[in-house]
């Protein structure tokens, strides 16, 4: 019994420290996933594994809270990081579409203001035909 108490006094602080390390690494992993940085996320999760193993030491003294905390932290980090990445990607595509939609709206307004008379616009677009370039011209361009 004395040995169990002595070990518990050592293992519980180790487990709490491991849970703190795992929690910090889970926060870093969530941030890295949200930014799309796979290398940083992999490194943070690699160190999280060490923290989770350290937090398992507290379970030998029947203190399961550090281990459960570290496991829940990574689960929440993966979920929140993935959701934030999806939100950031959605915002980026919306901001890229906004100028295109504004340009198409301006073109529609200009078309509406154009005269409706058929002689105002040519039936088909006019093209200019360039004379064919000689072989020596194309060789000079390639060189």
Q: pLDDT tens-digit profile of 63-114?
A: 899 999 999 999 999 999 999 999 988 888 877 776 666 666 666 666 666 6
Which pLDDT value is given to residue 95? 76
Distances from the Cα of 78 to the Cα of 25, 56, 92, 134, angstroms: 11, 20, 21, 63
Q: Which residue has the tokens 């992999």?
A: 42
Neighbours of 8 (CB within 10 A): 16
Are 58 and 67 spatial neighbours (Cβ–Cβ below 8 Å)?
yes
Backbone torsion region of residue 9, taken as left when φ is above 0, otherwise alpha when ψ lies between -120 and 50, otherwise beta: alpha
Is pTM beyond 0.75? Reply is no
| pLDDT-based confidence at residue 42 (cuts at 50, 70, 90) | very high
The kind and range of the H/E element at 22 are helix 2-35
């Amino acid at each position: 019994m004395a040995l169990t108490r002595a070990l518990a006094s050592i293992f519980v602080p180790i487990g709490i420290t491991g849970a703190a390390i795992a929690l910090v690494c889970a926060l870093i992993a969530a941030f890295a996933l949200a930014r799309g940085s796979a290398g940083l996320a992999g490194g943070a999760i690699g160190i999280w594994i060490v923290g989770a193993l350290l937090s398992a030491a507290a379970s030998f003294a029947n203190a399961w809270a550090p281990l459960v905390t570290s496991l829940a932290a990574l689960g929440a980090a993966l979920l929140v990081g993935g959701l934030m990445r999806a939100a950031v990607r959605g915002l980026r595509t919306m901001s890229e579409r906004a100028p295109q939609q504004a340009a198409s709206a301006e073109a529609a307004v200009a078309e509406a203001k154009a005269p409706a008379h058929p002689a105002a616009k040519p039936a088909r677009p006019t093209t200019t035909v360039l004379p064919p370039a000689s072989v020596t011209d194309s060789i000079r361009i390639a060189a």
